[in-house]
Structure 1
Amino acid sequence: MPTATGTAPAPRPHALHENWKPPVVGVCLLLPVGSDCLAIADLEGLIMLPAGTVDDGQTPEHAAQAVLPGPRSHLLNLRHVAVHEVQARRRKVITHILAAATAMTYDTVTALQYRDPRAVLRAIPTLQFLDQAPLSTRARTLAALQALATGTTAHLRTGFVGAQPPSGPMP
């Protein structure tokens, strides 16, 4: 029976499984209604901020118009308030958050259409949304609301929130 002689090879450092696939890029809309509400998409009891995908070669601003198709969507004055990056196991997920620069009215919300016909757009109190939202959505929404109020753009990554994009690879 043959036996191995010599030393065993040194173990390789744990390689991260990053970016095997192209990133997934999405857009999310933060639409204040009045002074204390947000426009949300209600999909059969699942509430979320209106969201959609950003196709190759498409800007987040253009993709945002597709989230709320229809004649009134072009009236929204959207501003880029946050970028959220998450490194998933095999790809990066990037979400651009755009917000209406001015508060909407209840009538405007009910006149808009959502890209998914199963969902209904409605306005709910901001605190109620934050109570019901998952922790990651809550943090992203709070950072976006703060950026909207201060006129800045928030850059969020795992363990990082700031006004400037972080340099270097994601942890």
Structure 2
Amino acid sequence: MHDGQNPAEAAQDVLRGAPDGLPLLRRVAQSCVQLRRRKVITHVLATASMTREDVGRLSYRDPRADVRVLPTTRVVDSLTAGGRQRVLVALQALATGETAYIEGGVVRHSIPADLVQG
């Protein structure tokens, strides 16, 4: 995400090709990691159902990358511990309707004040 950009705008910027834009419903998880030089924030967003045709039109901002839609269990099994935590927290958030964030490996259920965009 760029400064001043909300998660929905960031998602639209990164994934292009949906005829009417991504049908975003809500942000369900957010992970913050402080690296040596910068803070990395990963958002997981819930979308409305998309057809195979709609998904097939999606392209990632980096032309070297491919967008792939895979079964959840296959993805979860292949992730690093941090990636697995983000996906499982996001799936739990979808199931419960709650938004969560992960900071320092700890799952929290409200968004910190410094990350709320007004």
TM-score relative to the length of structure 1: 0.58
Point out where structure 1 has 5 or more consecutive residues left out of the alignment.
1-53
Greater per-residue strand proportion = 1
Instruction: Indicate how the Cα distance of structure 1 residues 113 and 73 shifts in structure 2: closer, same or farther if over 3 A, else same.
Output: farther
Instruction: Report the equivalent of 1:147.
Output: 93
Tell me the CA shift for residue 75 of structure 1: 4.4
Q: 1:72 aligns with which of 15, 19, 26?
A: 19
Point out where structure 2 has 5 or more consecutive residues left out of the alignment.
114-118
Name the SS for the 2:45 alignment partner: strand
Tell me the CA shift for residue 89 of structure 1: 3.4
Give the Cα–Cα distance (whole angstroms) in 2 for the partners of residues 129 and 122 of structure 1: 11
Q: 1:98 aligns with which of 42, 45, 52?
A: 45
Instruction: Indicate how the Cα distance of structure 1 residues 73 and 63 shifts in structure 2: closer, same or farther if over 3 A, else same.
Output: farther
Give the Cα–Cα distance (whole angstroms) in 2 for the partners of residues 59 and 138 of structure 1: 24
What is the aligned-residue identity percentage? 50
TM-score relative to the length of structure 2: 0.80
Greater per-residue helix proportion = 2
Tell me which stretches of 4 or more aligned residues in structure 1 moved more than 4 Å.
none
* 2:43 aligned partner, one-letter code: H
Q: CA RMSD in A?
A: 2.1
